[in-house]
Amino acid sequence: MNASLIDSLRAQCGGPRDGALLRFSLGNALLGAGDHAAAIEEFRRAVSFDPNYSAAWKLLGKACLALHDEAGAVEAWRQGIGVAQQRGDKQAEKEMTVFLRRVEQKGKG
């Protein structure tokens, strides 16, 4: 099912419906399939379409962390926290703050 979803989403890329939501959805499907590098590319495209997409920043950080790119995860979450604060997205802000603290604590330990 996930492979067909990924194929379907990829087929829409570059078309009239291409945008942050499509790229976020594709990134999420790729993340779920374990293709972290491709997920990172799609989440980066999502935030290039809409830099205020806090959910995309959150999952970009998760995908970076899955590839052991702690610096990339920290950068994504810091960006995402700023976006979430501006938009009043308290839940996303809390989640990314927790993820960020965990990475920072791990780095100290």
- pLDDT digits 0-9 by tens, 47-94: 999 999 999 999 999 999 999 999 999 999 999 999 999 999 999 999
**Sequence-separated (6 or more) residues with CB below 8 Å from residue 63:** 27, 31, 36, 39, 40, 43
Please say if the pLDDT value at position 1 is more than 70. no
Q: What is the pLDDT of residue 107?
A: 76
Which is more confidently placed, 106 or 87? Answer: 87
Instruction: List the one residue out of 41, 28, 37, 62 whose CA is nearest residue 6.
Output: 28
Q: Does the pLDDT value for residue 108 go beyond 90?
A: no
Residue 41 has pLDDT above 90, yes or no: yes
CATH architecture of the domain with residue range 2-108: Alpha Horseshoe (1.25)
Q: pLDDT at residue 37 above 90?
A: yes
